Amino acid sequence: MRSFIHAHSDDVTGVLSGFDRLVLRGNLRRLSYVEGMSGYLTAFSILLKDFGAHALAMTRWLKRASLEEARKNERPIVYLPSSNTNKEQVALRVLEEKPVEQGLTAVISSVEPCMSFDIYKNAQTKRLELVPRWRKGLHLYHYFIHPTFGFMNARIQTWFPFNIQFCLNGREWLSRELDKAEIG
């Protein structure tokens, strides 16, 4: 890039640089490993045989709470049958069809692979064990228009350990900064 700028320095009036995407991931650390999850289950007196029912109840609670704002503000909730569908393109299409200036634009849900937990019956010990396992779980993508960062999303895994990911678009942020500075 520098050699290009140097070679064409007479024609270059300025250079912009920044991040394209900034992805922030988070989790409930205590629930993200077997020992921590086992401690959680013990603290709440949840037997391993009841883990599935408890996890399902927590998933339902999280999903209901997570979709509440979309329903309250009459924003679209879209289920995608394939996790390969480009969610951002779907969200942009929704925004085009049902525009908003700021706030939640849509919630898109999709079943995707995720690291979670499962109950395994150990044949040798004849006991149930909590094990980490790749599973398929529902993920909710909340797309927003933020006043500073522009178009962005938050992805929430709706099954234990409820991992979350925020994605900020650097080009959106730069565009807003240029608009504020009245630079075309």
pLDDT in tens, 8-66: 888 888 777 777 888 899 999 999 999 999 999 999 999 999 999 999 999 999 999 99
Quote the pLDDT of residue 172: 81
pLDDT at 1 over 70: no
pLDDT digits (tens, 9 = 90+) for 118-138: 999 999 999 999 999 999 999
Give the whole-angstrom CA distance, residue 136 versus residue 153: 21
Cβ atoms of 139 and 110 closer than 8 Å: yes
> 3-state SS string over the chain?
CHHHHHHCCCCCCCCCCCCCEEEEEECCHHHCCHHHHHHHHHHCCCCHHHHHHHHHHHHHHHHHHHHHHHHHCCCCEEEECCCCCCHHHHHHHHHHHCCCCCEEEEEEEEEEEEEEEEEEEECCCCEEEEEEEEEEEEEEEEEEEECCCEEEEEEEECCCCCCEEEEEEHHHHHHHHHHHCCCC
Which amino acid does the sequence have at 108? I
What global pTM score does this model have? Answer: 0.85
Q: Is the pLDDT of residue 102 over 70?
A: yes
The candidate with the shortest Cα–Cα distance to 91, out of 71, 76, 74, 111, is: 76
